[in-house]
Structure 1
Amino acid sequence: MLKLPRILAGFLLTAVVALVAGCSSPPVRQASGLRRLYILNCGEGVAGDISRWSPGVNVGQSMPFADNCYLIQHAQGWLLWDTGVDDAIAAMPDGLAPADPKATYWRRPKTLASQLAQIGVSPDDIKYVAVSHSHPDHIGNVELFPRAMLLVQKAEYEWPGANNAPRFKPGHPVTELEGDRDVFGDGSVTILSTPGHTPGHQSLLVRLPKTGAIVLSGDAVHFRSNWDNRRVPALNFDKDKTLASMQRIADLLAKEHAQLWINHDKAQRDTLKMSPAYYE
């Protein structure tokens, strides 16, 4: 048998160990630049008949609704998730009553602009505005941020509004997404395609360094009992896609050991810290 010099044999052994270790090591994820998440009060209301959202259940019962926006601070810039009902509603003493009494009666206790100012953020500081979908209680203040890049699914952006009018101002900067998007490229903030409530509905996965993972639901679900029972609102665009999106979120919650923050669930929001407090 050929005997190698001790020095050469040691060198070869070191090289083999290094090669094996390199092959078995997981890829290194870029360090997260995510810093803080603020919850903003973007509306409070009363749903006149919650069977609109849970067909055949709770018929004729009303329920308080919340409307949240989320401001995310990242080393690469600020991202605002949803913009709530129009700030102009704050000047209406009696709020904004819906045409359909079964729908939601909205009030605006605080403007979005004033809550941003309270933490020293101006509309021009916002780099991205991402919206879960194009219903008025989520896009009411998009044009407070005319320079911000709008992140929206292509299917939502192209979905005709009333009388075939566009749902967003055509001149607003926009990135039309076709599926998921890692917003900052470090895995900390990921837009999730969750269609069903509308054609291009999306949710948001946020991986906070201290709090951990959170999924912001948008309107993939409206309140906890609908989530627990997988109920689909009659007014949703596509029932099967809604159920598939719910299952996708459930699988992600399990994989990420994540919390689910349901946008309109006021009972849940009452347990959370509101801006100017924040989550890290």
Structure 2
Amino acid sequence: MAPKRIALLLAGPAFLLAACQSMWQSSSAPGRNAGVERLYILNCGEGVAGDISRWSPGVNVGKSMDFVDSCYLIKHREGWLLWDTGVADAIAAMPDGQRPADPRATHWRRPKTLAAQLQQLGVKPSDIKYVALSHSHPDHSGNLAMFPRSMLLVQKAEYDWPTTSGPRFQPGLPVTPIEGDHDVFGDGSVTLVATAGHTPGHQSLLVKLPKTGAVLLSGDAVHFKDNWDNRRVPDINFNKEQTAASMQRLADIMAKEKSQLWINHDKAQRDGQRLSPGFYE
């Protein structure tokens, strides 16, 4: 047998092994082959929290803080997902915004409507396949009625949470009540993460982007970075023990996935982020 032919035969298995290793590394890299294409950060409200000790008991008493309210639009190859809907678009028409009954709470304004931001991207409400809510508070669910044909993804504990004034969610809307974690598209790229505590059925969202990597969207599991760094639990939360456990769960996921934590209401963090029509890949 010719020396050249022997060399080719010997090189064959090594070449195949190297190719297989390359394919495995490519497929196992975070978000490399996932179906997520883009993530947009939408301005879903600007506000001033009157007394942030509501969220950090015994600390910063009487101190106000600028808050933001972000929504996130995710383009997946199987459809659009909107994470939270922000404060109601109707607030944009209020000259002085929406003043809270409790002066310690947040005075919200709406400089940009959700409808206008979607229109700027060429996305109609009917294009949204899924609307997933971190929880049912009005600064996160204020525009839910805009999406009557989208499938609502919400924790069953949140959906069933009773109120004194009727149903928490509009009857007749398509809904998938989730119990625990949920892989939205079935490919591991977008996962609802159960983080109860702020409300009975609060959830966060883990998104694995092809270039940016993993991003964990907090919802209200944490309200601003100082509270996260010091693991402070708001007095106003539904369950303090569950909140503390959920904060630890987020930390564990961040360590495992090497993910960033994007805190919904943290203005300092959001001011350094790329807002729509910019996007993350």
Matched with 1:229 is 230
User: TM-score, normalised on structure 1?
Assistant: 0.89
SS of 1:35's partner is strand
1:93, CA displacement in angstroms? Answer: 0.9
What root-mean-square deviation, in Å, do the aligned CA atoms of Structure 1 and Structure 2 show? 1.9
| Amino acid across the alignment from 2:154 | V
- Find out whether 1:37 has 2:26 as its counterpart: no
SS of 2:196's partner is coil
SS of 2:227's partner is helix
Deviations 1:101-127 (A, max 9, x none): 000000000000000000100000000
1:63, CA displacement in angstroms? Answer: 0.1
- Aligned residue pairs, count: 260
| Amino acid across the alignment from 2:48 | V
Matched with 1:254 is 255
| Amino acid across the alignment from 2:180 | G
| Amino acid across the alignment from 2:161 | W
Match for 2:129 among 107, 127, 143? 127
1:32, CA displacement in angstroms? Answer: 1.5
1:253, CA displacement in angstroms? Answer: 0.5
SS of 1:222's partner is coil
CA distance in 1, matches of 2:39, 2:33: 18
Matched with 2:186 is 185
| Amino acid across the alignment from 1:201 | H
SS of 1:252's partner is helix
Contact 1:201–1:220 at 8 Å: present in 2 too? yes
1:162, CA displacement in angstroms? Answer: 3.4
Contact 2:33–2:210 at 8 Å: present in 1 too? no
SS of 1:143's partner is helix
Give the unaligned 5+ runs of structure 1.
Answer: 1-13
CA distance in 2, matches of 1:176, 1:257: 29
Runs of 4+ aligned structure 1 residues displaced above 2 Å come to: 28-31
Q: 1:1-280 to 2 correspondence within 5 Å?
A: 31-163=33-165, 165-280=166-281
1:31, CA displacement in angstroms? Answer: 3.8
CA distance in 2, matches of 1:146, 1:162: 24
CA distance in 2, matches of 1:81, 1:37: 10
Contact 1:31–1:186 at 8 Å: present in 2 too? no
The structure with the larger Rg is 1
| Amino acid across the alignment from 1:188 | S
Contact 2:192–2:205 at 8 Å: present in 1 too? yes
1:161, CA displacement in angstroms? Answer: 2.2
CA distance in 2, matches of 1:253, 1:121: 31
CA distance in 1, matches of 2:264, 2:101: 23
CA distance in 1, matches of 2:213, 2:33: 15
